[in-house]
């Protein structure tokens, strides 16, 4: 598969990418747990069908010590017991925030309340920002037809 657009060479998308990387650093440096951050990134990317992001976040999470069992179960997190209640709340918020168009009223208050029960204000801000940024990356990659080359190395892109 060949990309429709070389987003690293295009003057607009390459500049945008630099800004998104900068914004992502704010999330990375936040008090949101790294494991939660990677699980959310992986789930959002799975929903959006973003192959390069699924590859990246699976490998980054494994590199940071995430188990193969948990990585395998992210797509079916509701039907497993391997995630904490806090992680489950983050994954649910990530799904609802990614599928906004599917819910007439946006993200339900119940979903927000579950997340707010486990994360403080700074962590919630990071979680919301992370979900939004992941959706941005996914859309750029999917629309421009970016393939997952299979040779991503942990930490390669940030």
Q: What is the pLDDT of residues 46-74, one digit of tens each?
A: 999 999 999 999 999 999 999 999 999 99
Burial of 81 (0-12, 13-18, 19+ CB in 10 A): exposed
Q: What is the spatial distance between Cα 83 and Cα 32, in angstroms, rounded to a whole number?
A: 16
Q: 83, 70 in Cβ contact below 8 A?
A: yes
pLDDT at 150: 85
- CB within 8 A of 22, min separation 6: which ones? none
Residue 108: predicted pLDDT: 94
**Residue 71 · residue 154 · CB < 8 Å:** no
pLDDT of residue 73: 98
Q: Read off the pLDDT of each residue in 82-100 and give the average, rounded to a whole number.
A: 97
Measured distance CA(125)–CA(143) in Å, rounded = 27
Grade residue 42 by pLDDT with cuts at 50, 70 and 90. very high
List of domains in the chain:
34-143 (1.20.1290.10)
DSSP letter assigned to residue 40? H
**Residue 125 — pLDDT band, cuts 50, 70, 90?**
very high
């Amino acid at each position: 598969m060949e990309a429709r657009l070389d987003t690293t060479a295009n003057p607009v998308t390459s500049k945008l990418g630099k800004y998104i990387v900068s914004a992502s650093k704010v999330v990375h440096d936040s008090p949101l747990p790294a494991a939660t951050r990677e699980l959310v990134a992986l789930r959002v990317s799975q929903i959006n069908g973003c192959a390069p992001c699924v590859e990246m976040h699976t490998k980054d999470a494994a590199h940071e010590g995430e188990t193969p069992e948990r990585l395998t179960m992210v797509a079916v997190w509701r039907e497993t017991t391997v995630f904490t209640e806090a992680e489950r709340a983050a994954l649910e918020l990530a799904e609802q925030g990614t599928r906004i168009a599917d819910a007439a009223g946006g993200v339900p208050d119940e979903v927000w309340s579950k997340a707010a029960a486990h994360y403080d204000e700074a962590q919630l801000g990071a979680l919301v920002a992370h979900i939004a940024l992941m959706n941005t990356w996914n859309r750029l990659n999917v629309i421009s037809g970016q393939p997952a080359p299979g040779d991503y190395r942990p930490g390669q892109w940030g």
